[in-house]
Amino acid sequence: MKVNDVPEISRLSVPEKILFVEDLWDSISSIDSEIPVPESHKNELDHRLGKHYSPGELLSIKELQVRIEKRK
């Protein structure tokens, strides 16, 4: 469904559309049923969390200072 499919929504001003979307979101979020999350999304989240918790290459203070000086 698109906005243009509902003429009443198309005629709303931008502030009215924002209020409408807020109200729509509130009505969705109040539903108790769980929305299924695709396995690919879960895998991507796990991948990103793994990258977050593993810092990768760490630099000594001296190495960091050298890199900073090279950028000047």
The pLDDT tens digits for 19-63 are 999 999 999 887 777 778 999 999 999 999 988 888 778 889 999
Q: Is the pTM of this model over 0.75?
A: no
Q: Quick check: 3 pLDDT over 90?
A: no
Phi-psi region of 56 (alpha: psi -120 to 50; beta: other; left: phi over 0): left
User: pLDDT at position 18, please?
Assistant: 96
Domain boundaries of the chain, sorted by first residue = 1-33
